[in-house]
A and B are shown apart, each in its own frame.
Chain A
Amino acid sequence: MKSRTVLFISLNLVFFLTYPNISWAQAPREETEKTAQHLATLLNVGRLIVERNQTLINDPGIGDKGFTPEVFEHEVVDEFIRQTTIDLKHLSSLPSLAKELLPMLLQSSKEVVADAQLVINQRGIGYKNFVPATFGSQAARKFSNRSYVKIKQTALNPRNLKNTPDAYEENVLKRLAMRPAVDTSITEWIDNGTTLRAMTPLYYLQDCLACHGKPRGILDISGYPREGAQEGDLAGAISIQIPVNKQ
């Protein structure tokens, strides 16, 4: 009886001591995964806003387009609420990691739009190459340079060689290309659970096909050969790496 009691108490003790640890370990993981998802959504929303304003940006007849960093931010905030119900202006309810990183990515994105003002507001010039892809590359790079979190746009055959996938990304991209379009990200913990890798697929929309569609190989307006893609094909992915031990 006495030994049973000791065993019972020991087991309870082990459970109570370990349970909170499991919980503490679990929370940052979930938080990190959610944050990665939000970051991918935010970068993609920025791309979407650039795409929506593409006709305005490329209008050779207008000088000052009014597509300022503030206007961009306003449209991004509205679209982000619509897609996630999260208000980027009031992040108090979000975990600390998201609270730290989302404003940083929004700020980086705004800076890209600010840097591009000179190009955007050139009158008499139509195509200026300020498109979702170039915006996304720069916003991701700006963000990655000031953070321990790395964001990158990548594809199996990227136009910009700096976006060439690493071995992990290439593997995931090949898997994504084989299956029907999905909205969900592929999320994995690598290096003994110390680094999160998340890949959010991007698919070609109708508007993308003017440059990436058929006929394959014909040069598009920017001088790159068209990929010959169809609507719904995998265009690439937003790749995110978050090391836990630097948080």
Chain B
Amino acid sequence: MRRLRHLLKEYGSQGMVPFLIAFGFFLQGCGLIFDAVELVHPLTRHELSVICSKGQVRVGISVEPSRPFVFPALYTDEGVRITGLDVELIREVADALTTYCGGQKPIVPTMHLTRFRDLFVAMNEGNLDIFVSSIGANIPGAVPVGLWYSTPYFHNGGIGAMIQKPDVAERVRAQFQKQAGDPDTLAAIQEGFSGLTVAAQSGRTSHLYAEANLKDIQLLICDSLPAAVETKDPHIDVILSKHSVLDYVTKHVWPDWHLLTRNDGTPLILTQESFSIVTVDENRRLQWFLNNLLYRLEESGRLEQMRRRWLKEDYAPTRRATTEGLPFEISKVPEHYDQGQCRFATGRRTGKTY
């Protein structure tokens, strides 16, 4: 730089013109030189080495509770914590990253709780490495461009329905009976739900399912599942959501609501859904790392154990939050988070805001 300044002083701006032209000739070959250097010694670090050097993996998680995958934030003796199957999976990812990075220092998952719809934005803006929020990968329209979905960590999911009044179940069961041994769930649901007010969480797969398949309903779009439950005006006949979530909340949180079942009492799954970890399309090394990890966890029976302990066992989320919950970045959470509100899919708001 000193030499350049000296040249500028000595020859002035006019004298620099031939120098710049000569320099421009060299620039043409710069790309080749750069490529050659990259081959010998990569100049840009890949996403896994960045995670290793920073000692942290940035994880997005939906602030809207989705029990038992993510429970609402709880206060514990250790401070504010979140817990759930998705959170346990994040711990597994962080542990595996620690091993990958040499094990010298633990890779800390920094949790960013944000609204579900903002997870995709945060990921595309480069503010997250991964997000884990019981995201259904196999539902049409669920995968935005530029994002990549891992192999599923939860296979036997699906969209289910919960109701309060038994006559809704009777309507659907009557449709199944008409089918006389040749069950067609979609047809039974379309007929059975006809004219009813059906709620689904905005942007979630249940919303996509309802928009695509249930034409003859009044569709109410809610910011969260609790918002749907709280809505009194208009009266909601059916709430669609992930079957595993509905199974948990009807047993533990909202006993006034009941899972919609088939005639034989088995749960009625509207369509199958599997959950994946999400990252951006370019993160090839991270993608292979996640898929290999999930395969190993499945192979060892660890994933099955995780699913069983969150979905089948009787437990208190408060205790699990205390012993194994993860802290998160409180500053990133929407201020005075509430469960949001519901509005008709056409854009018309309900009589009351929630």
Chain A residues packing against B (C-beta within 8 Å): 63-64, 115-116, 118-125, 127-130, 133-134, 137-138, 160, 162-163, 219, 221-224
Contact = CB atoms under 8 A, between A and B. Distances in A.
B77 A137 contact: yes
Interface of B: 65, 72-77, 79-80, 224, 226-227, 229-230, 315-322, 330, 333, 336-339
B77 A116 contact: no
Nearest to B226: A124
Contacts of A224: 316, 319
A194 B17 CA distance: 81
A45 to B, nearest CB: 19
The B interface is mostly helix, strand or loop, or mixed, namely mixed
Query: Which of A63, A115, A123, A127 is most buried by chain B, counting CB atoms within 10 A of its CB?
Result: A123
A163 B78 CA distance: 12
A129 B318 contact: yes
B226 A134 contact: no
Contacts, number: 73
B74 A128 contact: yes
10 A-B pairs closest in CB distance? A223-B316, A124-B226, A123-B338, A63-B338, A130-B75, A124-B339, A222-B318, A223-B319, A137-B77, A160-B77
Given A129-B321, A223-B315, A122 B77 contact: no
Nearest to B74: A129
A118 B77 contact: no
B316 A124 contact: no
Nearest to B314: A219
Nearest to A116: B75
B80 A118 contact: yes
Contacts of A124: 224, 226-227, 229-230, 338-339
B72 to A, nearest CB: 5
Given A118-B333, A124-B339, A222 B80 contact: no
Contact of B330 (A115, A130, A138, A223): A115
Given A63-B338, A125-B65, A128-B75, A115 B316 contact: no
Contacts of B337: 118, 121-123
Nearest to A135: B75
B75 A223 contact: no
Contacts of B72: 122, 125, 128
